[in-house]
Structure formats: structure tokens, C-alpha cells
Amino acid sequence: MVGHRFSAPEITWRKTVRRPSVGEFIEGVAGRFVTDLLRRGKYLIAPLDDDQFLVLHLGMTGSLRIHDARRDPPPMVRHIFPLDDGREMRFIDPRKFGHLWLLPDPADAMRKMGAEPLEPDFTVAVLAAALTSRRSPIKAVLLDQSVIAGLGNLYADEALFLSGIHPERSANGLTDQELPSLHDAIVRALSTSVAAYAAARDAEWPDPPVALSPWSVPRSAAELCPKCQGSVQMIRVRGRSSWYCPTCQPAG
């Protein structure tokens, strides 16, 4: 995308566009060059050559594809952004949870965001400071984007499993030994998945998979814990499904 110009996008589900109006969005994107591609948490940010920013959030089931425009689009393509080289950026959004913005400041599309977990400034001390006043279950806190930017449900389960922490433990009750372990597990969970998706993208472009499972913790009661061979369980923490091993992740 970088260095290419958009033609007028085709928006088929108007509610996806949060700001400005759909007409202003289409007019503002048409004819603009993409100068870079950035990320903040779960948001993708494309700076344009007129100092505006195209901001995308894929929601729970969304994905992007860059396809030749002559190729039949896959199912559930909601929006199409034609490029100047005969390709299209296709926004696939089965459940219509995705969002689009065109803004002079991308921060206006986001709530308060915490530290980026794969950046050097995400340290054990930063994690400890973010948890120190929070008595909520650690699983719920990890999903709070103001604590850690971009950590999703599956990654939080994996990090808690790798660090041996029960998902219902109080966030501010973790010990000085558990905090470094959780920090390391968060980074490992994300890094492992990023590497797996990068390899799959290189191998299967332009149609890479969107639902890889590079997890250690099973997400089925029919599977056994790889550490102790015991049964895993699923509980709901603040409404979110949470898979864990009762033996390896004791309640405390």
C-alpha cells in the first residue's frame, strides 16, 4: 500500500465509518497517497499525503486482503479501496464489527492506550505500576487496552498459562516473582504468534490464514494440558471465555 494512491473507496456498510460522514470519508480518501503504515494497539494507521490519517480497526473477525482487482472478491468483503496499480485493498468483515476513520489526528479514534507490549519501554516496572491499584481479575485487566495496548483474549489466556497464573487472581495481588514471569509470557505469546503469522503470510500470500492457533494452552475440554496432562477448563471472567489448567494455574 505504501506509495500507492487510492481511488474512491466503495463502502457497503455505512456504520463502519465512524468519522467523518460516509460521503466526506470517500471524498477525503480518493486521490490520496499512502505515505506509511503504522499500528497502535489493535488499530492500523495509514498516514496520507494531505496530513490526514486513515485509521482501521478490524474488530473480532475482520481482515484485509490486497488482491488484483480482476480477481473475484472473497465472501464478506464490506469495503473496497482501489489502488493505482490495478490492485484493491479489500476489507473483509463478516460480523460488521470493524471501523474506519479519516482524521487529522489518529489518537481521536482511540481511547486511552497503554504500553505497547513489544516495544522496549514495556518493562516489568511498567507492568507492575499498571497493576498496582487494580483489584479486578488479572484476565480482565490484561484485556483493558489502557493497561496494555493490543492484548486480546487468546493472547491473555496464553500469557496466563505460560506464567502459571489463574485468570481470576486479583491483578494487584501478584507477587514479585510472578510479575516478571507474566511480563515475559506476554512478550513470548505475542512474539510467537507474530512469527507464525509472518511465516504463513510469506508462504500463502495473497491469501494468508486468519485463524492460526499457535497456543500452548488447549482451548477444548477434550484436550489435555501439555504440562501436566490434566484436563483444562473454561470459565468466564467478566463475560470473556478463559481457558486454563487448574493444576498449573492454581487459584492461590
pLDDT tens for each residue of 14-41: 999 999 999 999 999 999 999 999 999 9
pTM of the model: 0.89
* The pLDDT of residue 212 is above 80: no
Instruction: Tell me the domain boundaries of the chain.
Output: 10-105, 124-244
pLDDT at residue number 201: 87
- Residue 175, SS3 per DSSP: coil
Task: Classify strands 43-47 and 77-82 as parallel, antiparallel or unpaired.
Answer: unpaired
Q: Does residue 252 surpass a pLDDT of 80?
A: no
Pairwise CA distance, residues 153 & 132, whole Å: 21
Determine the average pLDDT of the residues in 201-207. 87
Q: 10-105 — its CATH code?
A: 3.20.190.10
pLDDT for residue 211 is more than 80: no
pLDDT band of residue 9 (cuts 50, 70, 90) is very high
pLDDT score of 219: 87
- For domain 124-244, give its CATH number from 1.10.8.50, 3.90.470.20, 3.40.50.300, 1.20.1250.20: 1.10.8.50
The string of pLDDT tens digits covering residues 72-97 is 988 899 999 999 999 999 999 999 99
